[in-house]
Amino acid sequence: MLAKKYTAVAGQSSVIREIFEYGKKRAAVVGADNVFDFSIGNPSVPAPEMVNETAIRIMQTEDSCKVHGYPSAVGYDDTREAIAANLNRRYHMQYHKNNIFMTIGAASAISLCFRVLADYGQDDEIMVCAPYFPEYKCFIEGAGVKVTEISADPKDFQINFPELESKLNVHTRAIIINSPNNPTGVVYSEDTLKKLAAILEEASNRFGRPIYIISDEPYREIVFDDKTVPYVPHFYKNTLVCYSYSKSLSLPGERVGYIAFTDEISDADIMLGTIGAVAREMGYVGVPSLFQMVVRDCVDALSDISVYETNRNILYKALTQMGYQCVKPDGTFYIFPRCLEEDAENFCKRAQKYDLLVVPSTSFSCDSHFRLSYCVPTKRVERALPLFEKLIKEYRG
């Protein structure tokens, strides 16, 4: 017998993965060029040359036992110092190495935060704002914690504050936010963050314990039109920043990211040790050494992300001209238009008939939208446009 909790869901993969796998099968039939797979958020630009050069230099010149050895659980001192210095330069912060815990990408950063902030099976709740990255639910429920969902505000995909205020309660331990946002591409404005901070401060005082913000920021650098992304700790003290090099350095397979917190948070003196205790329990024996060293030396580098902005511009203009409704993405490599019918899953199935592979918004706990990941070559975006046109014509009759 195996654990019931997991046998009950064994073999279930995410809808996004299912569509991605379908795309591979379909490509074998009609040719890869004729499948317009906009399902998965895998960066389509290479890591900066500097990243590979640095990895090679490190392997050739640094002590092999260190390069391939066990890292310390919190991460290498010099990597954490380099990250702290980078954040201090960019955001005028006062981080030092003990404010940084290295993690296996953003996924492990956020799942560690959920367990650090909420107690297993104790009625604790973590808030999520729809539409949201589907893994949040899996991680929060896996931590034995209740997910409190705030429904989407499709007008601009900022936060639905009336609902948030009505659902805050004595069990609320944290809220996870994600800006720039997957799936909408929207950046939360300063006004949104100020309002969120004021509400959480008041509620923390009322309930007599801090409610944290977990700020999931893997797309922080991927913004367009010279937009700046407000840095959440500037607005709210009790913030845990979760970051990843998966998107900004196009390194999703290397699994490297971090959690950052300031000395001003409520539990600063025990935060690093508590994150370490959770990581131990989960069997995270640190982050691969080689890529910690690469990040140390490439901390200011960024992939050439210009193709994402080009693709955003082409798609937003063409889709809206055709009659699709969508909020203009400020960043990421996602766009989240309205479906042409209420049933998002049915809409995506009809799109599949044109070999357009898009993800229904139900995966992100939101109605009647679809997500398109445009981290693909621009030519593919352009070749897909007539198919989106055919699809809308099919609906309009």
Ligand X SMILES: Cc1ncc(COP(=O)(O)O)c(C=O)c1O
Contact between 75 and ligand X by CB under 6 A: the answer reads no
Contact between 44 and ligand X by CB under 6 A: the answer reads no
HEC sequence for the chain: CCCHHHHCCCCCCCHHHHHHHHHHHHHHHHCHHHCEECCCCCCCCCCCHHHHHHHHHHHHHCCHHHHCCCCCCCCCHHHHHHHHHHHHHHHCCCCCHHHEEEECHHHHHHHHHHHHHCCCCCCCEEEEECCCCCHHHHHHHHCCCEEEEECCCCCCCCCCHHHHHHHCCCCEEEEEEECCCCCCCCCCCHHHHHHHHHHHHHHHHHHCCCCEEEEECCCCCCECCCCCCCCHHHCCCCEEEEEEHHHHCCCCCCCCEEEECCCCCCCHHHHHHHHHHHHHHCCCCCCCHHHHHHHHHCCCCCCCCHHHHHHHHHHHHHHHHHCCCCCCCCECCEECCECCCCCHHHHHHHHHCCCEECEEHHHHCCCCEEEEECCCCHHHHHHHHHHHHHHHHHHHC
Q: What is the C-alpha to C-alpha distance for residues 239 and 5, in angstroms, rounded to an integer?
A: 31
Name the residue nearer to ligand X (CB basis): 17 or 390: 17
Strand 125-129's sheet: what is its strand order? 100-103, 257-260, 239-244, 212-216, 172-178, 125-129, 146-150
CB of 219 to ligand X, least distance (A): 7
CB of 257 to ligand X, least distance (A): 5
By CB under 6 A, name the one of 23, 233, 257, 360 that touches ligand X: 257
Of 162-191, binders to ligand X (CB under 6 A) are: 178, 182
CB of 218 to ligand X, least distance (A): 5
Name the residue nearer to ligand X (CB basis): 75 or 203: 75
Contact between 254 and ligand X by CB under 6 A: the answer reads no
CB of 250 to ligand X, least distance (A): 11
CB of 322 to ligand X, least distance (A): 27
CB of 109 to ligand X, least distance (A): 8
Name the residue nearer to ligand X (CB basis): 203 or 278: 278
Of 125-164, binders to ligand X (CB under 6 A) are: 133
By CB under 6 A, name the one of 43, 218, 233, 286 that touches ligand X: 218
Name the residue nearer to ligand X (CB basis): 178 or 204: 178
CB of 21 to ligand X, least distance (A): 17
Contact between 105 and ligand X by CB under 6 A: the answer reads yes
Bridge-based pairing of strands 36-37 and 239-244 is unpaired
Contact between 329 and ligand X by CB under 6 A: the answer reads no
CB of 223 to ligand X, least distance (A): 14
CB of 107 to ligand X, least distance (A): 3
Name the residue nearer to ligand X (CB basis): 128 or 340: 128
**Interface with ligand X by CB under 6 A: which range of 105-113, 207-215, 279-287, 381-389?**
105-113
Name the residue nearer to ligand X (CB basis): 203 or 327: 327
**Interface with ligand X by CB under 6 A: which range of 16-24, 101-109, 268-276, 345-353?**
101-109
Written as six digits, the tokens of 250 are: 């196009």
- What letter represents residue 67's amino acid? V
Name the residue nearer to ligand X (CB basis): 235 or 334: 334
Contact between 250 and ligand X by CB under 6 A: the answer reads no
Name the residue nearer to ligand X (CB basis): 185 or 340: 185
Q: Which residues bind ligand X (CB under 6 A)?
A: 41, 105-107, 133, 178, 182, 216, 218, 244, 246, 252, 257
